[in-house]
Amino acid sequence: MAPSHVLRCCQRVLAWVPVVFIALVVCWSYYAYVVELCILTIMNIGEKIVYLVIFHLSFVMFVWSYWKAIFSNPANPSKDFCLPKADKEQFEREERPELQQEILRRVAKDLPLSTRTGTGAIRYCDRCQVIKPDRCHHCSACDMCVLKMDHHCPWLCRRKSAENCPKNELPDSHAKFHVLFLFFVAAMFFISVLSLFSYHCWLVAKNRSTIEAFRAPVFRGGPDKNGFSLGFRKNVKEVFGDEKKYWLLPLFTSLGDGVNFPTRLVHVDVEQPASDTQSASARCNITENQSSHSSRPLSESQNRLLGNEHHYSEDGLSGNNHNIDPNHSVAVSLESDS
C-alpha cells in the first residue's frame, strides 16, 4: 500500500482538476467573446467598445471573486478550543464516553458554546482534536475543521454569463462555431449559478449555512433552525457588514470573528403563522435570572446586531414574546446552568 502522504498528495492534485477545467473554459470563453465575436464579427466600432467595456468589467469581477474563493484559506478554530495537554492525555486514556464528556464539559465551561450534538454532548472533532465552536464542522475534503462551514464546493465557480449575441451576421463557420458554443456554455452556467445564487440569498436571509438548512443546529434546549436568525436586515448585515458600498466586492466585510454568534435563544419558527409563533414563544421566554450565567460579553459587532431592541420587526414578531437581553453572550443557553 502506498504511504499515506503519497495518497494525500494525489488527492490534492486531483482536487485541482475541476479548477483547471474551469480556468480552461474561462480562457476559451475570453477568446471566443473578445476575439471571435467583438473583434472579428462586430463591425460597428461603437458596439464593439460597449461590448468590450461591459464584458471586461464583469470579467475582472469574476476573476477577482474566483481567485479569492480558491486561494483564501478557510478559518480554523483557535488554540482556545484545543484541550490542554493534561486533559488531552486523560481524554485519550479514558474509554468511557460519559467521562470523556465530563472532561470536555470542564474544558468548555468558559468557551462561547451554544450548540451541542443531537444527544446533547459537547461537539468534539476526534480528527482535529478540538472542541468545535458553534457552526463549525469538519470538512472531509480539506481534512480540517472550518469555522461557520457552509459546504465544500470543488468547482468554486461563480461563472458570469456572456453578453447577448449581437444580431450581426457571422461571417464564417469558424466564428459561428465559437459564438454558438459560447452561448451554450454561458446558458448552462447561467442556469446552474442562478439556482445556487437564489438558494444562497435565501440562506443569507435566514442566517443559515447549507449544513444548517439540512440539519438544524442543536442548542442546549434542543434543535432550533432559527436559532441564529436575527431578522432579515440584521442577517444580511452579519454576512455583508455595515458598509453597503462594499457588498458587491469580494472583500471580507462580515461582522464577527467566526466563533461568537448572537442568537435568538428562543424556539420560534418565523415561517409559521403569528398565532403559532406566539404560543411557541410563550413557552420559551428567557427568564431574567439567566443573565447571571453569561460567560463572555458581546463583541462590538454583535452589539451592533442586537442593539437594545427587544423585537425583530422583519419577522413580524411581537416584542412582548421575545424578551432577549442584549447583554447576554452567545454562550447563554435556553436552560439554566444552575
Active site residues: 153
C-alpha gyration radius of the chain: 25
Closest alpha carbon to 178 in 272, 70, 40, 307: 40
Separation of alpha carbons 245 and 242, rounded Å? 9
φ/ψ of 208, rounded to 5, equals -130, 150
Separation of alpha carbons 317 and 309, rounded Å? 12
Closest alpha carbon to 338 in 279, 278, 290, 285: 290
For 264-333, the DSSP string reads --S---TTS-HHHHHHHHHHSPPPGGGGGG--SPPPHHHHHHHTT-S--GGGT--GGG----TT--TT--
| Run of H or E residues at 92 | helix 85-93
